[in-house]
Chain A
Amino acid sequence: MDEISVLIGGRAGDGINSAGLIVAHLFSQLGYQAYMYFDYPSLIKGGHNFTIIRASRQKVGAFRAKVDFLLALNQDCLDLHTARIDAKTVVICDSSRVRAEGICIPIPDILKEEHAPPVMGNSCIIGAFARAAGIGWEVVEKVLTQNIRKGLDQNKKVARRGFDMARGYVTVPVHDSPPLPLLSGNEAIGLGLLHGGLEAYIAYPMTPTSNLLHFLAEVGEGGDLLVFHPENEIAVILMALGMGYTGKKTAVGTSGGGFCLMTEGLSLSGMNEIPVVVVLGQRAGPSTGMPTYTAQSDLHFALHAGQGEFPRLVVAPGDAEQAFFWSSLSLQLAWKFQVPAIILCDKTLCEGYYSFSDPRETIPTIQPQPPGIPGTSYLRYKVTDDGVTPPLYPPTKETVIKVNGYTHDEAGITTEKAELAALMVEKRVRKGMALERELALLPTVSRYGDPGADSMIVCWGSVAGVCREVADSLGMGVVQPVVLAPFPKDGVKAVLGNPERVLVVEENACGQMEMLLACHGIRASGRVHKYDGRPFTVEELKERIAGVP
């Protein structure tokens, strides 16, 4: 048994997400790499929530169509997932709410006897699952102790009752790899930003990046990170630019709707050269769309948002390690080149959990710009060879620092003179070229699978995980541009080679990556799109690729 999949489902409020995480931690302790997908509708109580935890000896970033264990806290969980069950699937359920064949536990009776609240039903079913999967009680006890803050003893008792009532079906083999941390994409982004030197984070809550706000707010309570939630996303980005003006390294987080409100501020950042990092978590649109479901339909929005022309950095990490790595670099690069940077992610990455291999030793340190020379002759927009002006921040002795969203001269004073306007446009263009040169030294394109395959997949963002796995099984190669602007066209072409087929896989309807590739002279021969808000399963993508002529 190299891998195992578990689905746990119930109503919103049943603690499904935390139960899923406990199951993922059980596998971590047994030496597996885990990935967890969390599916929930946009409501607070009721509905149907479920998570799928997939554990494997290899790194995983996708789930399968079938599950080995189905943990049902209500009847919906069985009825809605019949397609995921086959003869081998072990069903574990709450016998008071579900009619099924398998391990049926009278959860309410147990909770009553232990004087435990209803939400602890998830611990009970986890105990039963552990026994059914042959996971030792000591592992369960350890994981519960590490992850439960409130009512630990009661949770343990309830879990033990579930454990004792079940019987073993299989024994998940134990491997001696040390357990890896489990991080959500949001947490990986937050930690990466902190690694890059984040000093302030400003956001208005919006799925799927609200949890990044919550995570950093907790971090900020204990230290010198400034976290603020203002009245709207317009205030968010303008506050970030105010912070940046004083030299504070600042990021903001939102989704498409909030980013719409930020675009005028983004353009201001392009013009007044105050850097800002925007974490843009995509979800199914247009408009409010499906707030808690995934999409990759904001690529061109991220590339082109804001009036006028200005250089920007856009990165699209595909897993937790890339999220950490590129969040750190985005912050460092934005500050070095005084440009806005966008970390383009999606619901799948932001709210998915991944076994995390600490990438810190591989992250290069970007040499920051040397500061400007203080004094009355300081020019905030002094024209330089690479277009980047050595910065100073107020208060600096004897120095007046003027930033301006109008076309301005070197001192930051508004101008409409033709030659000055052209000079300043060229200054900003040169910054973009300097950024491109710096990126040429960085791993802007990832590749997986067979590098010499005559059939190649091009994908971006969170889809990379499932593409990697499918490519391995079909003998294909995968090219994942992680940096999307400035587009690493030479890097993509070099890695892609000259294959017979180029298939572009993306979770949108119009082929946004395919269009971007075409702009750079890279032609696709086929495409697989998905736009129902759900990520590809391994089987689904395999089947879809097989169907491409």
Chain B
Amino acid sequence: MMTDRGLITDAQNTWCPGCGNFVIQFALRDAIQSVIDSGIERERIVLVTGIGCHAKMADYLNVNSFYSIHGRTVPVATAIKMARPDLTVICCAGDGDAYAEGLDHLVFAAKRNSDITVIVHNNRVYGLTTGQYTPTSPLGFRGRSTPGGTREEPFNPLEIMLSSGATYVARGCTRRKKNLEKVIGEGIRHRGFAFIDVLQVCASYFNLSDVYDRHVYELGEGHREDNFSGAFEKAREWDYNSESPISIGIFYRTLRPTLEERMEKPPGQIMNRPALITKILESRT
């Protein structure tokens, strides 16, 4: 199965025709290829996925992978990075994973500035469970669990991440592949917690292609990535609910010590276990 030296496995792809996941897959593949070209060996890259359509990425990309359970990409990724800081760890999560089932982990990873990259395939609908609302579905969304329409506003994930301490906050859209590849590539290269919300078209249950084509625009030269309040203001331009301009690109980027840097111990602290146990027993005598 893994004899293919390329980045795509020969597993049969089962995404729907027209699915936005293809665009993310190719953008991620190209971003990973450029990371490899920059000198990081492929075996140092680890992909962690949750459960949902997005998660099939683990089967389709020929890199180390941990196909986790629903909502639980981030703690796995945090631990892999903590155990082996020499690995490049990328999470692909769905909006159900990242914003519903596992929101706590996302907030904590941003708080800790764990040096991982989280790509949220935000199609704003549950696809694999056949069309229910998600935390980012617009108010009034009629899904199979809300036939009368939802009675709650969506989250704005960018606001949550900025408030939680993420040091790289970006948004992409599957209708803009080139920009997507850039924000993913920059996210992987970022030293610290990188968050990328990807507005992804779901061809079967929530096709917003027209809406995104109408409203999405790229953040211009004038946007200052290091300005927190500017980034926050920009993030509030669109509330994931109403029709308004939707900016994509890197909203915020800064540097602060990562969790792994803060946990690093001075070299030479290798414990001799038998001696340690004996010493503790003596101290209890």
Among the 9-residue stretches A296-304, A406-414, A524-532, the one with 4 or more Cβ atoms under 8 Å from chain B is A406-414
Residue of A with least CB distance to B273: A194
Contacts of A242 in B (CB 8 A): 48, 66, 75-80, 82-83
Decide if B285 touches A180 in the complex (CB within 8 Å).
yes
Decide if B80 touches A246 in the complex (CB within 8 Å).
yes
B105 in complex: contacting residue of A181, A231, A246, A410, CB < 8 Å: A231
Residue of B with least CB distance to A409: B1
CA distance A187 to B285 in the complex (A): 13
B276 in complex: contacting residue of A180, A219, A246, CB < 8 Å: A219
Decide if B83 touches A195 in the complex (CB within 8 Å).
no
CA distance A167 to B62 in the complex (A): 80
B69 in complex: contacting residue of A265, A396, A398, CB < 8 Å: A265
Decide if A268 touches B3 in the complex (CB within 8 Å).
no
Considering only residues 25-44 of chain A, those with a C-beta below 8 Å from chain B are: 28
B265 at the interface (CB under 8 A from A): yes
Among A28, A182, A239, A379, the one with the most B-chain Cβ atoms within 10 Å of its Cβ is A239
Considering only residues 234-276 of chain B, those with a C-beta below 8 Å from chain A are: 263, 265, 269-271, 273-274, 276
CA distance A243 to B77 in the complex (A): 9
Contacts of B79 in A (CB 8 A): 202, 238-243
Given contacts A238-B68, A268-B69, contact A223 B269 (CB under 8 A): yes
Given contacts A200-B83, A243-B83, contact A397 B43 (CB under 8 A): yes
Decide if A223 touches B271 in the complex (CB within 8 Å).
yes
Considering only residues 150-176 of chain A, those with a C-beta below 8 Å from chain B are: none
Decide if A231 touches B83 in the complex (CB within 8 Å).
no
B100 at the interface (CB under 8 A from A): no
CA distance A226 to B80 in the complex (A): 12
Decide if A402 touches B67 in the complex (CB within 8 Å).
yes
A45 at the interface (CB under 8 A from B): no
A429 at the interface (CB under 8 A from B): no
Contacts of A89 in B (CB 8 A): none
Q: How far is the CB of A123 from chain B (nearest CB, A)?
A: 19
Contacts of B269 in A (CB 8 A): 222-224
A234 at the interface (CB under 8 A from B): yes
B2 in complex: contacting residue of A182, A223, A411, CB < 8 Å: A411
B86 in complex: contacting residue of A378, A395, A414, CB < 8 Å: A395
Considering only residues 247-278 of chain A, those with a C-beta below 8 Å from chain B are: 248, 264-265, 268, 272
A230 at the interface (CB under 8 A from B): yes
Decide if B65 touches A402 in the complex (CB within 8 Å).
yes
CA distance A28 to B225 in the complex (A): 65
B5 at the interface (CB under 8 A from A): yes
Given contacts A183-B284, A195-B273, A242-B66, contact A394 B46 (CB under 8 A): yes
A139 at the interface (CB under 8 A from B): no
CA distance A194 to B279 in the complex (A): 13
B64 at the interface (CB under 8 A from A): yes
Decide if A413 touches B11 in the complex (CB within 8 Å).
yes
A405 at the interface (CB under 8 A from B): yes
A495 at the interface (CB under 8 A from B): no
CA distance A394 to B77 in the complex (A): 13
B218 at the interface (CB under 8 A from A): no
Decide if A400 touches B69 in the complex (CB within 8 Å).
no
Decide if A179 touches B285 in the complex (CB within 8 Å).
yes
Decide if B78 touches A239 in the complex (CB within 8 Å).
yes
Contacts of B263 in A (CB 8 A): 226
Interface size of A by Cβ–Cβ distance < 8 Å? 66
CA distance A243 to B83 in the complex (A): 6
Interface string of A4-37 (1 = CB under 8 A from B): 0000000000000000000000001000000000
Decide if B76 touches A404 in the complex (CB within 8 Å).
no
Residue of B with least CB distance to A410: B1
Decide if B281 touches A358 in the complex (CB within 8 Å).
yes
Residue of A with least CB distance to B81: A242
Interface size of B by Cβ–Cβ distance < 8 Å? 52
B144 at the interface (CB under 8 A from A): no
Decide if B105 touches A223 in the complex (CB within 8 Å).
no
CA distance A264 to B67 in the complex (A): 14
A137 at the interface (CB under 8 A from B): no
CA distance A238 to B71 in the complex (A): 11
B9 at the interface (CB under 8 A from A): yes
Decide if A395 touches B41 in the complex (CB within 8 Å).
yes
Q: How far is the CB of A89 from chain B (nearest CB, A)?
A: 29
Contacts of B285 in A (CB 8 A): 28, 146, 179-182
B72 in complex: contacting residue of A234, A246, A378, A399, CB < 8 Å: A234
Residue of B with least CB distance to A397: B43
A356 in complex: contacting residue of B9, B276, B281, CB < 8 Å: B281
Residue of A with least CB distance to B2: A400
Contacts of A456 in B (CB 8 A): none
Q: How far is the CB of B18 from chain A (nearest CB, A)?
A: 22
Decide if B64 touches A223 in the complex (CB within 8 Å).
no
Contacts of B82 in A (CB 8 A): 226, 228, 239, 242-243
Contacts of A503 in B (CB 8 A): none
CA distance A197 to B78 in the complex (A): 22
B19 at the interface (CB under 8 A from A): no
Decide if B5 touches A376 in the complex (CB within 8 Å).
yes
B68 in complex: contacting residue of A28, A224, A268, A395, CB < 8 Å: A268
Contacts of B86 in A (CB 8 A): 395
Contacts of B42 in A (CB 8 A): 400
Contacts of B48 in A (CB 8 A): 242
Contacts of B214 in A (CB 8 A): none
Q: How far is the CB of A322 from chain B (nearest CB, A)?
A: 16
Contacts of B72 in A (CB 8 A): 234, 238, 265
Contacts of B5 in A (CB 8 A): 376
B87 at the interface (CB under 8 A from A): yes
Residue of A with least CB distance to B47: A402
Decide if A230 touches B75 in the complex (CB within 8 Å).
yes
A360 at the interface (CB under 8 A from B): yes
CA distance A413 to B57 in the complex (A): 11
Among B1, B59, B66, B69, the one with the most A-chain Cβ atoms within 10 Å of its Cβ is B66
Q: How far is the CB of A455 from chain B (nearest CB, A)?
A: 38
CA distance A311 to B11 in the complex (A): 29
Residue of A with least CB distance to B79: A242
Considering only residues 30-89 of chain B, those with a C-beta below 8 Å from chain A are: 41-44, 46, 48, 56, 58-59, 62-69, 72, 75-80, 82-84, 86-87
A377 at the interface (CB under 8 A from B): yes
Q: How far is the CB of B58 from chain A (nearest CB, A)?
A: 7
Residue of B with least CB distance to A228: B82
Decide if A404 touches B43 in the complex (CB within 8 Å).
no
CA distance A248 to B80 in the complex (A): 10
CA distance A405 to B270 in the complex (A): 34
Q: How far is the CB of A232 from chain B (nearest CB, A)?
A: 7
Contacts of A410 in B (CB 8 A): 1
Complex A-B, nearest 5 residue pairs according to Cβ-Cβ distance, in ascending order: A242-B79, A411-B1, A223-B271, A239-B79, A181-B284
Task: Identify 26 residue pairs between A and B in the complex whose beta-carbon atoms are under 8 Å apart, listed by A's number.
Answer: A181-B281, A182-B284, A194-B273, A202-B79, A224-B265, A224-B271, A226-B82, A226-B83, A228-B82, A232-B104, A235-B75, A238-B76, A239-B76, A239-B82, A241-B79, A264-B69, A265-B69, A360-B277, A378-B2, A394-B84, A395-B43, A395-B44, A402-B2, A408-B67, A411-B1, A413-B9
* Chain B interface residues toward A at CB < 8 A: 1-3, 5, 9, 11, 41-44, 46, 48, 56, 58-59, 62-69, 72, 75-80, 82-84, 86-87, 104-105, 108, 263, 265, 269-271, 273-274, 276-277, 280-282, 284-285
7 further A-B contacts with Cβ under 8 Å, apart from A194-B273, A223-B269, are A181-B284, A231-B108, A242-B48, A394-B46, A394-B64, A400-B63, A403-B65
